[in-house]
C-alpha cells in the first residue's frame, strides 16, 4: 500500500475519476420501473457562453442534489443541453464576419445560417466541456440543443397548437425595437435606466388663430411623426381647442386637437403631442380615437424612422437620413430658430435599453407575432398558489404573482436569421390568385400549395421565434415531446429546477405555462402527480440561487473585468474546493460575495480530509485494520468511539434534513463542522491515545477498523459536495474490497437509535475539562513540552468517575501526566485552578506560575460569573417572571443561579489563596 501524498493534489485525481465515471456509465439514467425517478433539467447555457461563477453556483447545487438522490437510490437523470441564444449568437458571428470585412447581408441568409452552425460546432460545446471539469454528472448521452431536430419539431408543434387555439396572433403593434440588432424584443428584454434628460416645451400654432398649443416632450424629434395633440376632455383650459387644427412646426402639416382621458392635466402643460408610431401610449390614444372617429377622420400612424432609427422619406427633406439623436439636434435647433421652442427644462426619466447590446430601444410600429398570455398565466399562477410547485425561497412567489396578474402579451417574432423559422407561409400568388390569398398558412410542415388558390408559390415568414419560445418547452421537449416516449412517461414531471431569479419571467414562469398547456396528454404511471385539470406541472420545486458578486459587492461583468475564470480557479484550488466553497458561502437565495482567495476555505478543508484519510491509512497498516462495517460499531468501544458514532448519526440526520429543505449552505456547514472539529480535532486525537498506547493488538485493530468505517461513511455524506476527493479516498480505503464508485453507494440516512445523549454529555464534560486546562496553559504560557499534574475535587462523583476513567485522553489532549484527587481544604499552593461542572481542577505549577497572570485570569472568570449571577438573580427577583414564565424555565434559572453562585465561591476562594 503506497502512502498518500502529504497534501492533496486535485489535478490528476479529478481527471482520472471523471473519466472513470463516464466510462462506467454512472451518469446514465434509463426508465426503470424498479426505481423512483428523480429528474433535473439543466438551465441550458447559451452556446456563446463560457463558464462563469454563476454557472458554478448553479451547477454545483444541481450536482449536489443529483448525486445525493442518486446515492439514495433514485433513478436520477440530469438532462444537459445548450440554448441557441438567437440574438447573442447572431451577434457573435456577425462580429467575426465584420472582422473578415464582410457581413451577413453580403453572405445571404442561407450561407449565414450555415456559418452560425459551423460556429456552433466549433465553440458551442465550451460550457459543456467546462461543466465536466466541475464534476457535473449530467447524462451527456442525452445532451440536447434547442435547435436540434427534435426540439425544432417541438417548437413548431407548440406554435401550431397555440395558433389553433387562437393563443397566437399576428398584428401591427408598437414593439420594443433594437435599432442595432434590427429586431423586435419582448417587454422583458428591455432594461430601464434613469438618465438626466430634458423636457422641451414646443408651441404648435392653432390654424387660423394667434393662439398656440404648448406641448411638452422628452423626444422633440418625434414631432415630425405627430398626428395629433391630445388634451383631457374635461380640461377647461383647452376644451375650446378640441377639434381645431394645429400647424405642425417644421413639417407644416395640419394635425387635430383631440380629447383623451389618459392625459394628465397636471403634467407638463396638459397637452400631449401624439406620435402613434413611436410611442406606446400614443399608439393607444390613436387606437381609442379611431374607434370613435368617423372613417374619414381616422388617424394613420406615421413612422418616421427606418429599422436603424434613421429618419425616412416621410419627414421633410431637410431632416431625412438622420440618426434619431442627430435628428433631435436638428429639430431643436430649427424650433429654436423658428421661435417655437418655449422653454427647456432638465428632466429625469427612464430610458429603455436592449438587454443584449445596450442600445436605446425605439418604440416601433411593425407586424409581429404574439402569444396571448392571460389564459396561460391563470393556470400557471394557480399551481404555484396551490403549492403544487414550490419556490425556494418562497418569497419569489409574490414576484411571480405580480407578474402573472399583470401579464401582457408576448411578442415572439424576431427579425433575425438565427433561430426557429416561424412555421407560417404566405401565398405569394399566381396570376389566378384570388383575394383570399396573402392569409398566413400555419402548418407543421411546408405546405405544397395555397389552400385557397392552389398556388405553389409560397413564401415562408421571414422571421424567427424568440429564443425563449424553445426554452419554455425544455423540461419536456428534451424528453421527446411531442412524441410519446418512455422517457417522457417516466422522467416527467421533473423534480427540481435550479436557476437564477433573473429569469423567473423569461423562463421559469413560461415553462410552467407551456407545461400546463400541452403535457396533459402524457400517460402517467399510477399515482403520479397531475394538477386538478389533468395537466402536468413541469417541475415540483424551483430553487432560486443568489447572484455571485465580487468582494466589493458589485455584479460580475465583462467591462469591470471582475469575473474570475472558474477553470483557472479549478486549476489552482481544485474543483472540489471550488464546489465546497461556493456551497458553503451561498445561503439559499442570498447573493454571494466572492473572490478567488475564498477558495482557500475549500482547499484547506479538502486537505484536512485528505490528511485524516492519510492518517487512517498509515495506521491501518500498523494495526492491520480495514474498515469494519456496521457490525464493528460496538467492539471494544469507549467514550470517543461511542461519541463519534453518535455524532455521525446526528450529523447524517441533520444533513439529510437540510438537503431536503434545499438548505445547501447549512448542509455544507454541518459537514465542515463535523469533519473538522468532531472527527479530526477530537476523535482522531483521542484515537491516537488508544492506537499508540498499549492496548492489545486485537483492540487496536477493532478500534481502527471502526474509525475507518466511520470515515468511509462520512466520505459518503460528503461526496455530493466533493466528489473527486471522496472518490479518491474511498478507493484508497477500499483496496481490499474494490468498488466501482462511491457515487453509487447508499447515502447514509443516520440512525436516531445510534444517537446517544449520555455519551454526548460525558464527552461534553471531558471536552470542557480539557478546554479549561488548555486555557490555563495558554494564558499562563505553560509550554506543551511541560507535562502537568492535575488535581481534581468533585462534588459530583459521576463526573469524577468519567474524568478518572478517561485519564488517557487528558494525557494526550492536555499533556497531563497524572490525575490525582485533591481532598477538601485549600487549593494547593502555587497552582492554577479552574471551575468545571460539578467540581474544581488544580494544576500545581511550582515556580513556573506567574501569579499576576493567574490572578488576572481568575478575576476575568469571576467578573463573568458575577455578571451571569446577578442577571439571573435579577430575573428571579422579578415576580412577574416567576409568576408568568413556564415553570421549567424558572426552575432552569434557579439551577443556573446555584451553579453561578458555586462557581463564584470557588473562584473567590482561589483568588483568596492565589499564592
Residues 619-648 that bind RNA (CB under 7 A): none
Minimum Å gap between C-beta 146 and RNA is 22
Residue 697's CB is within 10 A of a number of other CB atoms, namely 11
Whose Cβ is closer to RNA: residue 492's or residue 543's? 543
Three-state DSSP at 614 gives helix
233 binds RNA (CB under 7 A): no
Only one residue has cell 423626444, namely 219
The number of C-alpha atoms within 13 Å of 358 and in the hemisphere containing its C-beta is: 2
Site map (CB under 7 A) of RNA, residues 784-803, x = contact: x-------------------
Cα–chain center distance at 872: 45
Residues 404-433 that bind RNA (CB under 7 A): 406
The number of C-alpha atoms within 13 Å of 246 and in the hemisphere containing its C-beta is: 30
Q: For residue 549, what are the β-bridge partners? A: 555, 593
Minimum Å gap between C-beta 199 and RNA is 7
262 binds RNA (CB under 7 A): yes
Residue closest to 280 by CA, chosen among 166, 465, 408: 408
Helices (H), 386-538: 396-405, 468-471, 474-477, 486-491, 510-518
242 binds RNA (CB under 7 A): no
216 binds RNA (CB under 7 A): yes
Distance CA 766, CA 801 (A): 11
Whose Cβ is closer to RNA: residue 399's or residue 528's? 399
Residue closest to 29 by CA, chosen among 491, 466, 675, 532: 491
Which range of residues in 69-77, 143-151, 521-529, 877-885 is near RNA by CB under 7 A?
A: 877-885
User: Ramachandran region of residue 851, left (φ > 0), alpha (ψ -120 to 50) or beta?
Assistant: alpha
169 binds RNA (CB under 7 A): no
Residues 650-679 that bind RNA (CB under 7 A): 666, 669, 676
Residue 890's CB is within 10 A of a number of other CB atoms, namely 16
Distance CA 270, CA 257 (A): 12
Residues 753-772 that bind RNA (CB under 7 A): 771
Distance CA 331, CA 320 (A): 11
The only residue of 247, 611, 637, 866 in contact with RNA, by rule CB under 7 A: 611
Distance CA 680, CA 657 (A): 23
Whose Cβ is closer to RNA: residue 169's or residue 692's? 692
Distance CA 409, CA 654 (A): 46
Residues 335-364 that bind RNA (CB under 7 A): 349-350, 352
Q: Can you list the pairs that 692-697 forms with residues at least 24 positions away whose Cβ atoms lie under 8 Å?
A: 693/808, 695/636, 697/623, 697/624
Whose Cβ is closer to RNA: residue 133's or residue 774's? 774
Whose Cβ is closer to RNA: residue 154's or residue 686's? 686
The only residue of 444, 860, 874, 894 in contact with RNA, by rule CB under 7 A: 860
304 binds RNA (CB under 7 A): no
Which range of residues in 68-76, 121-129, 264-272, 752-760 is near RNA by CB under 7 A?
A: 264-272
Whose Cβ is closer to RNA: residue 491's or residue 584's? 584
Using CA atoms, how far residue 690 sits from 631, 699, 703, in Å, is 20, 9, 8
Which range of residues in 204-212, 307-315, 446-454, 549-557 is near RNA by CB under 7 A?
A: 549-557
Whose Cβ is closer to RNA: residue 158's or residue 241's? 241
325 binds RNA (CB under 7 A): no
Distance CA 847, CA 242 (A): 107
684 binds RNA (CB under 7 A): yes
Minimum Å gap between C-beta 385 and RNA is 15
Residues 6+ apart with CB under 8 A from 544: 391, 392, 393, 396, 499, 500, 501, 504, 589
Which range of residues in 309-317, 440-448, 749-757, 883-891 is near RNA by CB under 7 A?
A: 883-891
Residues 182-201 that bind RNA (CB under 7 A): 187-188, 191-192
75 binds RNA (CB under 7 A): no
The only residue of 395, 446, 894, 908 in contact with RNA, by rule CB under 7 A: 395
Strand-strand pairing, 362-371 and 410-411: antiparallel
The only residue of 72, 126, 247, 281 in contact with RNA, by rule CB under 7 A: 281
Residues 472-531 that bind RNA (CB under 7 A): 502, 505
Minimum Å gap between C-beta 455 and RNA is 42
C-alpha cell at 811: 494525557
C-alpha cell at 92: 457573435
Which range of residues in 2-10, 57-65, 514-522, 826-834 is near RNA by CB under 7 A?
A: 2-10
868 binds RNA (CB under 7 A): yes
Whose Cβ is closer to RNA: residue 492's or residue 662's? 662
Which range of residues in 16-24, 26-34, 529-537, 598-606 is near RNA by CB under 7 A?
A: 598-606
Strand-strand pairing, 245-247 and 212-217: unpaired
The only residue of 19, 98, 106, 551 in contact with RNA, by rule CB under 7 A: 551
777 binds RNA (CB under 7 A): yes
Whose Cβ is closer to RNA: residue 66's or residue 769's? 769
Which range of residues in 23-31, 168-176, 755-763, 886-894 is near RNA by CB under 7 A?
A: 886-894
Whose Cβ is closer to RNA: residue 50's or residue 868's? 868
Whose Cβ is closer to RNA: residue 455's or residue 666's? 666
Residue closest to 683 by CA, chosen among 632, 628, 639: 639
List the 440-442 sheet strands across, edge first: 440-442, 424-427, 458-460
245 binds RNA (CB under 7 A): no
180 binds RNA (CB under 7 A): no
Minimum Å gap between C-beta 696 and RNA is 19
C-alpha cell at 651: 450529523
State the sign of the Cα–Cα–Cα–Cα dihedral 125, 126, 129, 131.
negative
The only residue of 36, 795, 892, 913 in contact with RNA, by rule CB under 7 A: 892
Amino acid at each position: 500500500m503506497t502512502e498518500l501524498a502529504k497534501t492533496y493534489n486535485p489535478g490528476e485525481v479529478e481527471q482520472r475519476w471523471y473519466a472513470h465515471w463516464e466510462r462506467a456509465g454512472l451518469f446514465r439514467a434509463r426508465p426503470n420501473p424498479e426505481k423512483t425517478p428523480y429528474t433535473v433539467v439543466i438551465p441550458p447555457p447559451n452556446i456563446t457562453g463560457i463558464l462563469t461563477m454563476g454557472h458554478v453556483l448553479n451547477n454545483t447545487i444541481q450536482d449536489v442534489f443529483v448525486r445525493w438522490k442518486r446515492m439514495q437510490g433514485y433513478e436520477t437523470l440530469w438532462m444537459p443541453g445548450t440554448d441557441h441564444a438567437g440574438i447573442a449568437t447572431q451577434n457573435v458571428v456577425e462580429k467575426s464576419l465584420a472582422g473578415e470585412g464582410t457581413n451577413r447581408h453580403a453572405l445571404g441568409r442561407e450561407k449565414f445560417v450555415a456559418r452560425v452552425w459551423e460556429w456552433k460546432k466549433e465553440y458551442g460545446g465550451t460550457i459543456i466541456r467546462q461543466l465536466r471539469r466541475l464534476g457535473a454528472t449530467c447524462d451527456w448521452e442525452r445532451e440536447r440543443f434547442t435547435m436540434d431536430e427534435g426540439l425544432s419539431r417541438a417548437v413548431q408543434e407548440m406554435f401550431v397548437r397555440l395558433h389553433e387555439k387562437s393563443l397566437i396572433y399576428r398584428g401591427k403593434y408598437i414593439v420594443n425595437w433594437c435599432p442595432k440588432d434590427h429586431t423586435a424584443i419582448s417587454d422583458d428584454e428591455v432594461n430601464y435606466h434613469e438618465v438626466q434628460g430634458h423636457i422641451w416645451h414646443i408651441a404648435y400654432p392653432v390654424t387660423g388663430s394667434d393662439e398656440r398649443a404648448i406641448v411638452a416632450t422628452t423626444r422633440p424629434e418625434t414631432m415630425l411623426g405627430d398626428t395629433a395633440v391630445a388634451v383631457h376632455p374635461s380640461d377647461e383650459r383647452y376644451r375650446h381647442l378640441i377639434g381645431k387644427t394645429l400647424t405642425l412646426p417644421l413639417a407644416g402639416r395640419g394635425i387635430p386637437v383631440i380629447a383623451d382621458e389618459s392625459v394628465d392635466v397636471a403634467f407638463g402643460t396638459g397637452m400631449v403631442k401624439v406620435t402613434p408610431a413611436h410611442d406606446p401610449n400614443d399608439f393607444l390614444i390613436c387606437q381609442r380615437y379611431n374607434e370613435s372617429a368617423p372613417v374619414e377622420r381616422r388617424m394613420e400612424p406615421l413612422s418616421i424612422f427606418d429599422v436603424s432609427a434613421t429618419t425616412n422619406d416621410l419627414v421633410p427633406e431637410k431632416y431625412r437620413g438622420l440618426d434619431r439623436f442627430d435628428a433631435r439636434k436638428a429639430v431643436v435647433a430649427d424650433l429654436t430658430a423658428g421661435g417655437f421652442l418655449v422653454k427647456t427644462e432638465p428632466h429625469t426619466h427612464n430610458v429603455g435599453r436592449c438587454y443584449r447590446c445596450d442600445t436605446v430601444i425605439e418604440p416601433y410600429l411593425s407586424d409581429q407575432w404574439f402569444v396571448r398570455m392571460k389564459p396561460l398565466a391563470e393556470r400557471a399562477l394557480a399551481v404555484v398558489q396551490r403549492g403544487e410547485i414550490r419556490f425556494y425561497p418562497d418569497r419569489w412567489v409574490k414576484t411571480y404573482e405580480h407578474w402573472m396578474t399583470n401579464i401582457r402579451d408576448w411578442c415572439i417574432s424576431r427579425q433575425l436569421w438565427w433561430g426557429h423559422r416561424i412555421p407560417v407561409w404566405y401565398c405569394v400568388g399566381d396570376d389566378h390568385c384570388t383575394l383570399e390569398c396573402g392569409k398566413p398558412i400555419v402548418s407543421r410542415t411546408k405546405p405544397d400549395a395555397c389552400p385557397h388558390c392552389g398556388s405553389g408559390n409560397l413564401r415562408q415568414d421571414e422571421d424567427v421565434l424568440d429564443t425563449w419560445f424553445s426554452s419554455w418547452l425544455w423540461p419536456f421537449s428534451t424528453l421527446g415531446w411531442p412524441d410519446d416516449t418512455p422517457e417522457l412517461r417516466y422522467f416527467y414531471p421533473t423534480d427540481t429546477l435550479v436557476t437564477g431569479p433573473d429569469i423567473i419571467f423569461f423562463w421559469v414562469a413560461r415553462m410552467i405555462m407551456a407545461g400546463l398547456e400541452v403535457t396533459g396528454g402524457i400517460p402517467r404511471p399510477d399515482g403520479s402527480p397531475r394538477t386538478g385539470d389533468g395537466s402536468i406541472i413541469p417541475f415540483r420545486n424551483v430553487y432560486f440561487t443568489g447572484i455571485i458578486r465580487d468582494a466589493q459587492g458589485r455584479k460580475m461583468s465583462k467591462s469591470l473585468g471582475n469575473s474570475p475564470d472558474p477553470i483557472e480557479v479549478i486549476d489552482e484550488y481544485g474543483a472540489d474546493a471550488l464546489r465546497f466553497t461556493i456551497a458553503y458561502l451561498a445561503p439559499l437565495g442570498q447573493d454571494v460575495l466572492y473572490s478567488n482567495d475564498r477558495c482557500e476555505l475549500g482547499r484547506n478543508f479538502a486537505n484536512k480530509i485528505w490528511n485524516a484519510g492519510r492518517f487512517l491509512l498509515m495506521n491501518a497498516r500498523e494495526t492491520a485494520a480495514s474498515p469494519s462495517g456496521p457490525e464493528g460499531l460496538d467492539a471494544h468501544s469507549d467514550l470517543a468511539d461511542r461519541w463519534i458514532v453518535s455524532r455521525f448519526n446526528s450529523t447524517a440526520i441533520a444533513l439529510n434534513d437540510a438537503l431536503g429543505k434545499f438548505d445547501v449552505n447549512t448542509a455544507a456547514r454541518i459537514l465542515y463542522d463535523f469533519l473538522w472539529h468532531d472527527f479530526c480535532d477530537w476523535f482522531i486525537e483521542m484515537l491516537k491515545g488508544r492506537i499508540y498506547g498499549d492496548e492489545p493488538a486485537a483492540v487496536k485493530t477493532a478500534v481502527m477498523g471502526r474509525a475507518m468505517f466511520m470515515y468511509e461513511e462520512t466520505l459518503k455524506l460528503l461526496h455530493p459536495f466533493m466528489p473527486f476527493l471522496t472518490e479518491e479516498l474511498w478507493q484508497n480505503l477500499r483496496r481490499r474490497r474494490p468498488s466501482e464508485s462511491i457515487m453509487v453507494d447508499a447515502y447514509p440516512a443516520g440512525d436516531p437509535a445510534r444517537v446517544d445523549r449520555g455519551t454526548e454529555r460525558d464527552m461534553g464534560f471531558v471536552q470542557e475539562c480539557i478546554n479549561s486546562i488548555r486555557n490555563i496553559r495558554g494564558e499562563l504560557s505553560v509550554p506543551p513540552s511541560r507535562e502537568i499534574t492535575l488535581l481534581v475535587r468533585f462534588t459530583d462523583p459521576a463526573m469524577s468517575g468519567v474524568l478518572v476513567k478517561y485519564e488517557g485522553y487528558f494525557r494526550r489532549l492536555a499533556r497531563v501526566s497524572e490525575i490525582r484527587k485533591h481532598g477538601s481544604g485549600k487549593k494547593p499552593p502555587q497552582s492554577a485552578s479552574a471551575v468545571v461542572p460539578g467540581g474544581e481542577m488544580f494544576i500545581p505549577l511550582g515556580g513556573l506560575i506567574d501569579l499576576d497572570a493567574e490572578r488576572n485570569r481568575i478575576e476575568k472568570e469571576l467578573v463573568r460569573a458575577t455578571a451571569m449571577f446577578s442577571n439571573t438573580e435579577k430575573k428571579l427577583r422579578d415576580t412577574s417572571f416567576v409568576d408568568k414564565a413556564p415553570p421549567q424555565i424558572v426552575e432552569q434559572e434557579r439551577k443556573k443561579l446555584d451553579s453561578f453562585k458555586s462557581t463564584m465561591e470557588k473562584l473567590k476562594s482561589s483568588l483568596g489563596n492565589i499564592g
